[in-house]
Structure formats: structure tokens, C-alpha cells
A and B are shown apart, each in its own frame.
Chain A
Amino acid sequence: MNPMTKAREAVTHTSGHTAPGRRRGGHDTATGTGNEPVVALRAAAVRVGGRTLWSDVDLRIGAGEFTAVLGPNGVGKSTMVKVLLGALPTAAGEVRVLGARPGQANERIGYLPQRRSFDAHLRVRGVDVVRMGLDGDRWGIPLPFPSARRRTDRARVDEVIELVGASAYAHRPIGQCSGGEQQRLLIAQALVRRPELLLLDEPLDSLDLPNQSGVAALIGRICHQEGVSVVMVAHDVNPILHHLDQVIYLAEGGAATGTPAEVITSETLTRLYGTPVEVLRTSAGGLVVVGRPEPPAVHTDRHEIPGESA
């Protein structure tokens, strides 16, 4: 472990949570200088098709922190991920990702796009899909001879599949795996290069409830035990609520950031939406947001009637 990295991590843990920030060997690629956060947005704004989606967004994410991007549909949550990847320019403000301009450090980012399921007839195994995350962008084809690199690559793929608990089905064609199994394999694919930042776009979407909490627990574990910072777009905060360090709530062109307890409150959301909003707490600690102009975003299912479930 590089002492510089350790020092940086110690300084950047601004949230109340204690994230160990433990990293495995070979992971400590130098991250620019000093105590720079993994993601920093200052007064950032984004325009898509002439419309300002959000503006004046400030955000700091430290190493090993789990951050959720919340908000109603069409507010620009996925756009946030695209901005961090450098796929979309900002209209104003400054964005730094891993100490560089967005898009410059994509090598060190693991990205899981919004829910894609593989065709049931696709005859490629889960382990091959994970392997593509490791060297799929390399030109040429691998030589069919045993070599040291081949062995380490294979070991890394097996290790990351073990980490997400997908060993039992990684050798089946991925089209025949269930939604939850595919999602674990895709998380393995995003993790296989030991990224320092993981960008996940609605990874729990269209999973059933046990799989939602299972995958949420897996992401929380990767974040806090492996020290990978996670930015996750979600329409329902409840499955990830007790793993989160920070949330950014986008609505009505503005944003509120802070711990879940600070942001998901009646006062903050009422101020953000400019209309009365109430946050209810269920006996199990779940949150329900009611009285908003849009269908409930902080909810298990977009189509359920507010207040009737959770």
C-alpha cells in the first residue's frame, strides 16, 4: 500500500461513515496529487438540447464513499453519469474526476450502463463477458499459448467472479442467467480492472426484491471493503439506504447533497421542489416520499400509488 494513497484516503473521508478504504495490491495507481477527492463538481450545470437539466450542483466524493444520485424521472440522473464519463460537456462550472478532466481517467473507472439484459440466445458465457471488461478493448487476438499474462488474467477474472458470488453460473451462457445473476456478472465486469470509481446506472432496476437487496449489499460491500468509490443512479433509495454515505437529490433543475438523513427530509425536498413534500418513515426504516408533482421516485415501484406500500 502506497503511503500517499493512505494519507489521501484518510483526509478525504469527510462523511460520518468510516470507510476503511482498504485496497488490494496492484491497485494503487497514482491519483494525481495530494488529497484530491475522487469526484468534485463545483457549480456544475448541464444543458441537453437547449434545456438546462440541472445547474449549480456542488458535490465532493471521497475515496471509498457510496453516493446515490436520486430524483424523479427525466431530471438528468443518467446525465450525471455521462458527465462524469466525459461523454457530455458541462455548460458551466467545473468537474474533476480522479484528479483529471472527465473522460481523461476513464481507464480507472468501472461503468455499468442502465439495465441491459442479454438476448436469451446469446451464446457467450458470463466469464467471457467479465473477461471483455479486462482486455476487450485490446487490439489483436489472444494467442492460444499458455503465458504468465494469460494466467494472471484468468486468475483476476476468477477472483472478481468469486467476489460478486457468481462462480456457480459464470460458465453458463449469459443469456440463460437470471436478471440478478446477469447484474452480478456485469458488476464483476465493471470491477475486473480494479477501478477506483464505479459508476452504476440503475443497477437494481427490474430486479425482484430479494435480488435488489442482495445486489445492493454486494455494492455496499465492494465500496466499503474494497475501497472503491461508488456513484449509483437509483429511483428507489430504500434497498441501498443503510449502505449510503451521501446522496445527491436532483429535482426541478437544482440539487441537494448531504447524508441521506440530511437530504431526504420533508424540509429539504419541499425547498427543492418548491411545493409541499412529505417524507414518511416506515417501521422498518424505509422512506416514502409523498405529495410530489411526479410519480414517486423514492419508491420500490414507480407505478405504485404513493403511501400504499413500503
Chain B
Amino acid sequence: MTLAGTAAPAWSWNLVTDFQDMWSYPFMVNAFRAGAVVAVVCAVVGWFVVLRRQTFAAHTLSAVAFPGAAGALLLGLGAVYGYFTLCVAAALVIAALRGGGEHEDSALTGTVQAFLLASGFLFTALYRGLLEGPQSILFGTFLGITSSQVTVLMVVGAVVLAVLALIGRPLLFASVDPEVARGRGVPVRALSVVFLVLLGAATAEASQITGTLLVFALMVIPAATAQVLTARPALSLALTVLLALAATWLGLTAAYYSPYPLGFFVTTIAFAGYVLALGGRSLREMRTRTRTRTLTRPGADAVSAAREAAA
């Protein structure tokens, strides 16, 4: 949904008046609040998604948000309930289908995704009263976020973050090194089910801001960017949150002052950050490679290993 129909407010380069102008509308204040909650929750959950290589499951859950919202509207309920119900239900289905296997079954996950997307299409066709069509569900909106919606987002977000804080360390262990973690008594399987449910809840949150098709803008891109920049777990988690917040708030500002949609801005800002991070890393690697080539000779690893053997 865009402001294209109305005249877009003018950007003045005076940040104080710009933000005063923007925040004089309660719907914009709500949009910034909701955006902040969603950015933080998605960043933290997404950091584990990237580490665990579960982007396909995340994609499926975000696709499932579409029939969820459309179905809820068709039944006359709020879209919010549709998002949460179907995302969490689909997370449980994926967890159940996976059975005892270590990795998710991508064929089954894809099957579930295709069927639910088709159902969503049917729901929007049945619900002719939806003036904008499926567009705002698919690509996100920041108009008309109510205060009660913000409260729901905050409560769910707080629960997700609290659970993640509780299971964070064993979940990291189970994600990086499942076999040893299991040997140490970490309930690897139970953790992966819990994480899928958290992922479902976070996806449902993000869908309401970025739309179901652009959930990855907050779920995957900030985490991927941070993990390109650093391999320190705590630092990269903090960076992920910062990047997601920046993309969301900058995106909201840009969408307010321009006639173009929010999802585009959030995604583009996040994507630009990723490209910059990749470019920066390749540059740094090229520099260190030329430096180490002059400093050390190849095969140093084998030499030190042989020295150890002789000792």
C-alpha cells in the first residue's frame, strides 16, 4: 500500500522538522514502534536461521503467512490472528514431518508451501471485499497499524526473545555441532522444534511490516551481512539487530517521504548493506592475501605438523 494517490510530504533536509512532521501522525508513530519490535525480533531469530541454514523453512513459513492473513480476513477475523495461527501451525507441521531426521525434508516443506500458497490465492479470490487485493499482504504496509496491533507485536516479540535468551547457548551449540551437543545432553531435537515455533512467530510478526514475500529482508539479509562482517557470535548478533533496525527505520522514513512502497525500501537498504559488506570483505581478503604471500611460504601448516610428530 502506498501514498501514491495522495501528495507525498516534502523532505526538507532539516531532520528535526522532518521527524516532527512524520511523528505528528499517530499511524507513523505506530509504524516506527512496530518496525522496531519486528526488526529486533527478526534479527535475533534470523541470526540463528542463517547459522542453521534454515532459510528454506523460513521462506515456507513466510509464504504460509499469506493464506493465514487472507483466510483470517475471509472469516472476518483480524489478519494478525491469521498470521500467527498459520505460521506457528506450519512450523509444527514442518517439525512433525521432519521426524527424527537431522535436517528438514525440503521436498515435504516445499509441498506444504505450494499447497498453502494456492489456498491463499483462493481465499483472496473468495474475499472480493479486499480492495487492495493481495498486494499489501504480499508486499507489506505501514498504514493503519493500530496501537493494539503494536501491543500484540510487543508481547509476542518479548516472549520470543525471552525463550531465545533461555535456550540461546544450547541452541548455538546444537546448531554448530549437533552430535557433540547431543553427547553432552543437549536436547537437540526438542530445541529444533522450539526454534521452528519461534521462527513461525517471528515470521508472522515480520509479515505484517514487510509483507510475506519480503520477510527475508529482515529475517535473512541483516544476519547474513553481520556474519560476513564478523565471526564473533556476540558481536555479529548485535550487528544484526543494528542493521535490521536501521533498514526498517530508514525504510519507513523513505516510504513516508516518497510515493513508493515500504517493502522496496527496507529490502533495498538491507540489500545495499549486504553488497557493501561483501565488497568490503573481498577487498580486505585481497589485501591480506598479498601481504601474507610475501610474509610466509606455502606449506607452513605441514611443516609445523611434521615438527609436532617429531617432538
Listed in ascending order, the chain A residues whose CB lies under 8 Å from chain B are: 85, 87, 106, 111-113, 116, 118-119, 122-125, 128-129, 132-133, 135-142, 144, 165, 172-173, 178, 180-181, 189-190, 208, 210-211, 213-218
Interface size class of B (residues with CB under 8 A): 35 or more
B305–A133 touching, CB < 8 Å: no
B232–A125 touching, CB < 8 Å: yes
B183–A124 touching, CB < 8 Å: no
A144 to B172, CA, bound (A): 17
What residues of chain A lie closer than 8 Å to B230, measured between beta carbons? 123
A214–B306 touching, CB < 8 Å: yes
Chain A CB within 8 A of B295 CB? no
Listed in ascending order, the chain B residues whose CB lies under 8 Å from chain A are: 51, 53, 165-170, 172-173, 176-177, 179-181, 183-186, 227-228, 230-234, 236, 301-302, 304-306, 308-309, 311
A211–B302 touching, CB < 8 Å: yes
Top 5 A-B residue pairs of the complex, sorted by shortest distance between their CB atoms: A136-B173, A214-B305, A213-B309, A123-B227, A141-B168
A-B contact pairs, 21 of them (CB 8 A): A106-B185, A111-B183, A122-B176, A123-B231, A128-B232, A135-B169, A136-B172, A136-B173, A136-B184, A137-B170, A137-B181, A139-B166, A139-B169, A140-B166, A141-B169, A144-B234, A180-B305, A181-B301, A208-B302, A214-B308, A217-B309
What residues of chain A lie closer than 8 Å to B165, measured between beta carbons? 140-141
- Take A124-B176, A136-B172 as given contacts and tell me if A113 and B183 are in contact as well, using a CB distance cutoff of 8 Å: yes
What residues of chain B lie closer than 8 Å to A129, measured between beta carbons? 176-177
A87 to B176, CA, bound (A): 21
A137 to B176, CA, bound (A): 12
A137–B227 touching, CB < 8 Å: no
A109 to chain B, nearest CB (A): 8
B192 to chain A, nearest CB (A): 15
Query: Smallest CB-CB separation from B232: which chain A residue?
Result: A125
A138–B176 touching, CB < 8 Å: no
B96 to chain A, nearest CB (A): 24
A132–B173 touching, CB < 8 Å: yes
Extra 17 A-B pairs, beta carbons < 8 Å, given A111-B183, A113-B180? A116-B177, A123-B230, A124-B51, A125-B232, A128-B176, A128-B231, A136-B184, A138-B169, A138-B170, A140-B166, A140-B168, A140-B169, A178-B301, A180-B301, A190-B180, A213-B305, A214-B305
